[in-house]
Amino acid sequence: MPLTTHAPDAIDAAIAARPSGHHLLLVLDFASALIDPDAPDRLAPRRRAILAWLAHQPDTSVAVSSWRPLVDVTRRVGLSAPVLYVGLRGLEVAGQGIAFAHAATTESVGLVARIARSLSALTADLQGVTLEHHGPSLTLHLGDATPAAADLAEEALDRVAASHVANDLLRPHRTARAIEVLPSSSWDEADALALLRTELGQVHARPVWPVCIADDVRGARLFQAVEAAGVSVAVGDRPGRASFRLRDADGVERLLRRLLGDA
């Protein structure tokens, strides 16, 4: 496992050491790097302002990555251009003239809608269980459910989606408080990062140096992608591949402020 550290100076030095003439790309996971657990629905105004300031720096681009669809994460962040967005684990990318949607996002819309209707009926009476459906994805929220209700909800999801998962049409992702169902594809966040590096390299006429900040679940593929060229910063205490580590979104906010010279 790579060496990890909480030392702010070490992370700052690694970011400052990007090769001369490279454009800085900050990739921040919405759920783990930007959002506090007690306010998961919206970006705090002060963090929104920090992202806006960073995104308008001539040598920096900011991309917010999420397992949510683009339309949803864009609404939650509340910033337009020049902020970039990566949705559905890399299946959607938008901003700065980039408009990418993997074919799997359109192919799965009808299937996910049918599953969402069935799952809604099966879980309607389960206290604390909520279902969120956006186009080609759905999220089964279990954080407020009793263990028994959560088990029943998982069984219901397995009943309506298992055959589609087995046929490689959908892929579920479990987090501490939810199960997300997305279109199945070999394309993921690492491919989206490669796309961003290529496209932004052309826009800014120079190579792109990525700094990826996420937890070790959502950021695993990103961290792997920047091992040879870039900086990886994990959020939280799970073991993983990142070279550096911050404890929480507050630590990320302090890092972003230091990048602005506002620490």
Q: Are residues 208 and 190 in the same domain?
A: yes
Q: Which of 152, 183, 214 is the last residue of a domain?
A: 183
Q: Are residues 153 and 195 in the same domain?
A: no
Q: Which pairing describes strands 98-101 and 130-134: parallel, antiparallel, or unpaired?
A: unpaired
Segment 99-121 shows an average pLDDT of 95
From CA 67, how far away is CA 73, in angstroms rounded?
9
The CATH number that applies at residue 45 is 3.40.50.1000
What is the domain range of residue 49?
8-101+186-259
The CATH number that applies at residue 142 is 3.30.70.1020
From CA 23, how far away is CA 48, in angstroms rounded?
22
From CA 158, how far away is CA 131, in angstroms rounded?
14
Q: Are residues 69 and 121 in the same domain?
A: no
Residues 25-79 have pLDDT tens digits of: 999 999 999 997 777 678 889 999 999 999 999 999 999 999 889 999 999 999 9
**Residue 88 DSSP class:** G
Given a cut of 80, is residue 1 above it in pLDDT? no
CA dihedral 168, 171, 172, 173 (to 10 degrees): 140
Question: 5 pLDDT band (50/70/90 cuts)?
Answer: low
Residues 81-103 have pLDDT tens digits of: 899 999 999 999 999 999 999 99
**What was the pLDDT predicted at 36?**
77
What percentage of the chain exceeds 70 in pLDDT?
96
Residue 38 contacts residue 143 (beta carbons within 8 Å): no
Give the type of residue at 206. R
Would you say residue 1 lies in a domain? no
Segment 117-131 shows an average pLDDT of 96
Would you say residue 171 lies in a domain? yes
**Per-residue 3-state assignment (H helix, E strand, C coil) for 140-177:** EECCCCCHHHHHHHHHHHHHHHHHHHHCCCEEEEECCC
Q: How many domains does the chain have?
A: 2
pTM of the model: 0.89
**What was the pLDDT predicted at 239?**
67
**What was the pLDDT predicted at 261?**
85
